[in-house]
Structure 1
Amino acid sequence: MDIVTVTFFVLLLFQGVCTFILLARLFRGAKRFPPLTPQFANPQQLAKVSVVVPTLNEVNRIDGMLLGITRQTYEVREILIVDSYSEDGTREKVKDVAQKDPRVKLLSDPPLPSNWVGRPWALHNGFLASSQDSEWILGIDADTKPQPGLIPSLLNFAETHDYDVLSLSPQFILKSGGEWWLQPALLMTLLYRFESSGVNAMTPETVMANGQCFLIKRKVLEELDGYAMASNSFCDDVTLARGAAMKGYKVGFADGAKLIKVRMYEGLQETWHEWGRSLDLKDAASRAQLWVECGFLALVQGLPLPMTIFGLLNYHDYDFLSFKLLFILNLFLLLVRFALLGAIAPSYEKGKSASSLLFWLSPTADTVAVARIIISALSKPKTWRGRNYG
C-alpha cells in the first residue's frame, strides 16, 4: 500500500466510527421531549421563584427582558437585577421599571474578585441576596425575551420529571446574512457533540445547559455553595450543570423555542468573536475530552463538504475501494447535515428579509465553525462583556 491508500483507509476508519456515534445521538434526539409550551400558573406555584438577571451596560438590549419577565405572574416572588455598575443608562432603565413593579429590585455586586468571572459572580451575589422562602432560582440573561407562561411551564416540567436543574434552549433572532450563514453552523457543533435539547444526557460529561434560562432548586444551589464551582468559568452554565450532575442531581435541558427568544450578537463579526470563543466549553471539560470532541467535530462536521468536493473532482483518478467508500461516507454526512436544517429551523425566528435564506446554506460554513471551535480551544478569553481578564 502507498501512503495515499493508507491515508484514505485510516480516515475512512476514524470517520466511520464517528459517524456511528453521531447517528446514535441523532436517533436519540428523534425521541426527545417535544418543545415546552406556555402555561398558566396555579396557586401552588405562588412566589416559588426568585429571578436573577446579571447586567453590565445592557441599555440597548434589556427592554425585551424587562417586559417579558414582568409579565410573568404570581409564581415570581422577586426579580433581582444584579448590575455591575453600568454606565450606559441600564440602571436608570431598571429603576423606571421598578417603580411600576415592586418585584423588581436593582442590586450592585461587590468588586469582582480575581478568581471570578463577572457573570457567575453577579449570579452568585443575586442568589445570596434572594429570599430564603423561594424554592427555585431562575437565572435569565439581559438579551432574552421571555414569553408569557414561561415560568409556570418551567416549574411544571421540572416538577413532573423531578429535575433539580433545568435549562432551556431558546429561539434565536438573527438579522444579517452573515449571522444566518454562520450562527446555525456554530449551533450545530453543540448538537453534534452532545445530546439535543429534550434528551436526557447519558453521562454528566455530556450534560448541556443554557444560562440564558437556567432554573435550579434553591437547596441544590445552597449545597453547591452557589456558583463557586463555576467561579472562573466562561461557560458557567454548563460547568455548574455538569458539577450538579456529577454530585447526583438530575439535570434537564429542554426545548424552549416557544417560551424564550434571544438576540445574542450583532452581525457576523460579533457572532464569530463573542459566541465562537465560548462554544468550545473548555471550562466544563477535561483537556482530553475537549480535544476528542474537537477531533470528532473535524471528522463529522468539518470535513464532509471539502471531502465531497475533493471526491467529485478526483472520482476517476483513484480506483481503490477506500477512496470510493470515503467519498460515499462524506456525501452521506453532508446530506445528513442538510437534512438537519429542517430539525433546527424552529430554533430560529422566521426572517423577514432575503438574507434569512442563507440559513439553508449554513452547512457551507461548517468547516469555518469547526475551525472556530478549535481556535477557541487553544486560548483563554482575555475580555468578556466589557471586562478584562488577565
Structure 2
Amino acid sequence: MPLILCLASASSACLLLLLLALELQLGRAPRLGASGSQERPSGCSWLRILVPAYNEHDNITDCLGAIVAALPPDWPIELVVIDDASSDDTQALADSARLACLRTDLSWRVVQAGPRPGGERWSGKNWPASVGADLSWPGGDASSQWLLFLDADVRLRPGVIEAALQEACSQGSDLLTLAPRLECSCLAEWLVQPIVATLLGLGFPIRRSNDPDDPTAFAAGPFMLFRYSSYLAIGGHRGVASEVVEDLALARKIKQANLRLRYLLGVDLVDLQMYRSLAALWEGWTKNWFLGVDRNWFKAAGSVGVVLLLFAGPWVAAALLLLQQLLGGAVMPLTAITVGASLVLVLAIRLWSSWRFGTPIRFWWLSWLGAFLIAAIVPASIWKTTTGRGWTWRGRLLEG
C-alpha cells in the first residue's frame, strides 16, 4: 500500500475511534449545572475560598471580581488570597479589590504566605495553599467546613458555588473537582489547548475517576472543593508538598484513603485561560507534561506518536498528495478520498467539541502545527524534569 494511503488510512481510523471515544467518555459524562436554589446545604457550616497567587497581575482583579459576583448572599463564606512573595503588584491589586468590595456579608483576607520552611521542599502553590488552609476558622466543625481552592486564572459564573456545595453534600463527596471550559486568546493556545483537552479527557476518564473501586483518580487544580476534615485526613497540601502536579497527587490520596472523589464537567460554570503567550504556554507544559505521564518515557513517547498521527498525519498526507500531483505523478482516487476523509474527521473532532462544549473551531486547520509544537514540548519537558535545568514556573526554579 502506498505511503500516502497508509498514513491517511491510519489517521482516519484513529480519528474515527477518537470521535466515538470522546462521545462515550466525555459527551455523556456527568456535568454540573447551575443550581436553581440559593439555599445553603445543611452539611456546610462554613466555606473558605482560597486563591494562592504568584505574579498574577493579569488575572487577580478579574478573578476576585468573578468570585464575588458568583457568591450566594448571606452564606458564611471567607475569601482568602495568599500572596506567594510575588515580585509584581498582585498583593496590592488584591487589597484594592477587597477594599472596593461592597459586600458586607463576606469575610475577606489578603495574607502573605511568608518564606518556605527551611530544609523542606515545597513546590509551586503547595506552600501558599497550606498557609491558607491552616488559618483559624471563624466557626463550624471540621466535618461541615469546606475548602475551595481556585487558581487565579479561573473565572467563576453565578450559581457555581451553590451547585458545587449542594452536589458535594448530597453525594457525600470528600473532594469535588470540576473540569473547566478552556478559553483561548493567543494563537499558541488555539494550537495546543484543544488537543490537550482531548488527551486529558481520554487519559483520565471521568466515570472511572468517580468509581470508588477503580484506582483512576484525577482532579482539576483550578477548582477543588474539599471537605475540611477529609483534607486534614490526607495531610492536605503539606502531604504533597514536593509534588509539582499536586492536584493529581491529592486526588490519588483521596482515593487511597477510601474517601469519595467526585469529578464532573464544569464547563457551564467555570472558565479557565491558562496562558497568554507562546512563552507562557511553553513554560507551563514543559513543566507539567512529563510529570502528567508519571515520568514514564514510554507514555511520553506514545503521547507524541498519537498526537502526530491524529492531528498532523492527515495534513502531512495531504501535502504529500499535493506534491505528488505537482510532480506529475498519478493520484489514485482511493488515496484522494481517504486523505479527504481524514481532513474531514479532523474538522469533525472540533465540531463535536463545539457542539458539546461550545468551543469555537477557530484555527482548526492549523492542528498540524499544534501537533508539532506538542512534539517539541514533550522532549523539552523530559529534559527539564530529569535535569532540573530551565524547569521553572514564571521564572521561579522548580526542583527535580
| Matched AA of 1:383 | T
Residue in structure 2 matched with residue 385 of structure 1 by the alignment: 394
- The offset of 1:225, in angstroms, is 0.5
Residue in structure 1 matched with residue 26 of structure 2 by the alignment: 29
Kindly indicate whether residue 367 of structure 2 is the aligned counterpart of residue 363 of structure 1: yes
C-alpha RMSD over aligned residues: 3.9
Residue in structure 1 matched with residue 153 of structure 2 by the alignment: 143
- The offset of 1:167, in angstroms, is 1.5
Residue in structure 2 matched with residue 219 of structure 1 by the alignment: 229
Task: Give the whole-Å Cα distance in 2 for the aligned partners of 1:225 and 1:60.
Answer: 32
Residue in structure 1 matched with residue 130 of structure 2 by the alignment: 124
Aligned residue runs from structure 1 range 157-306, under 5 A: 157-195=167-205, 200=209, 206-271=216-281, 273-280=282-289, 282=291, 285=294, 287=296, 289-306=299-316
Specify whether residues 283 and 122 from structure 1 end up closer, same or farther in structure 2 by C-alpha distance, changes over 3 A only: farther
Matched positions, count: 375
| Matched AA of 2:39 | N
Kindly indicate whether residue 91 of structure 2 is the aligned counterpart of residue 94 of structure 1: no
| Matched AA of 2:203 | R
Specify whether residues 362 and 232 from structure 1 end up closer, same or farther in structure 2 by C-alpha distance, changes over 3 A only: farther
Task: Give the whole-Å Cα distance in 1 for the aligned partners of 2:166 and 2:126.
Answer: 26
CA contact (8 A) 2:351 2:361 kept: no
- The offset of 1:224, in angstroms, is 0.9
Task: Give the whole-Å Cα distance in 2 for the aligned partners of 1:60 and 1:10.
Answer: 43
The alignment partner of 1:153 has SS state of helix
The alignment partner of 1:127 has SS state of helix
CA contact (8 A) 1:112 1:121 kept: yes
Residue in structure 2 matched with residue 85 of structure 1 by the alignment: 85
Task: Give the whole-Å Cα distance in 1 for the aligned partners of 2:311 and 2:208.
Answer: 21
Kindly indicate whether residue 165 of structure 2 is the aligned counterpart of residue 155 of structure 1: yes
- The offset of 1:18, in angstroms, is 10
Report percent identity of matched pairs: 20
Per-residue CA deviations over 1:146-200 (Å, capped at 9, x if unaligned) read: 11211111112233444322222223333334433343233333234333x6774
Structure 2, unmatched stretches of 5+, are none
Per-residue CA deviations over 1:80-119 (Å, capped at 9, x if unaligned) read: 2111123432222323344445511122223125521131
Residue in structure 1 matched with residue 346 of structure 2 by the alignment: 337
Aligned residue runs from structure 1 range 30-45, under 5 A: 30-44=27-41
| Matched AA of 2:397 | N
- The offset of 1:331, in angstroms, is 6.6
Specify whether residues 88 and 298 from structure 1 end up closer, same or farther in structure 2 by C-alpha distance, changes over 3 A only: same
Task: Give the whole-Å Cα distance in 2 for the aligned partners of 1:63 and 1:224.
Answer: 32
Q: Select which of 369, 372, 378 maps to 1:374.
A: 378
- When normalised by structure 1's length, the TM-score is 0.78
Task: Give the whole-Å Cα distance in 2 for the aligned partners of 1:242 and 1:362.
Answer: 36
Task: Give the whole-Å Cα distance in 2 for the aligned partners of 1:205 and 1:5.
Answer: 43
| Matched AA of 1:379 | K
Task: Give the whole-Å Cα distance in 2 for the aligned partners of 1:90 and 1:32.
Answer: 37
CA contact (8 A) 2:126 2:241 kept: yes
The alignment partner of 1:277 has SS state of helix
Per-residue CA deviations over 1:301-356 (Å, capped at 9, x if unaligned) read: 4544424544676698899xxxx89x95x876654432121232378888xxxxx7
Per-residue CA deviations over 1:200-240 (Å, capped at 9, x if unaligned) read: 46686653321111112212211111123432222211222
Kindly indicate whether residue 55 of structure 2 is the aligned counterpart of residue 57 of structure 1: yes
| Matched AA of 2:63 | M
Task: Give the whole-Å Cα distance in 1 for the aligned partners of 2:197 and 2:77.
Answer: 34
The alignment partner of 2:29 has SS state of coil
CA contact (8 A) 1:25 1:194 kept: no
- When normalised by structure 2's length, the TM-score is 0.76
Per-residue CA deviations over 1:42-83 (Å, capped at 9, x if unaligned) read: 143554321111012223311122112223124452112111
- The offset of 1:36, in angstroms, is 2.2
Task: Give the whole-Å Cα distance in 2 for the aligned partners of 1:14 and 1:343.
Answer: 17
Task: Give the whole-Å Cα distance in 2 for the aligned partners of 1:386 and 1:370.
Answer: 21
Kindly indicate whether residue 69 of structure 2 is the aligned counterpart of residue 66 of structure 1: no
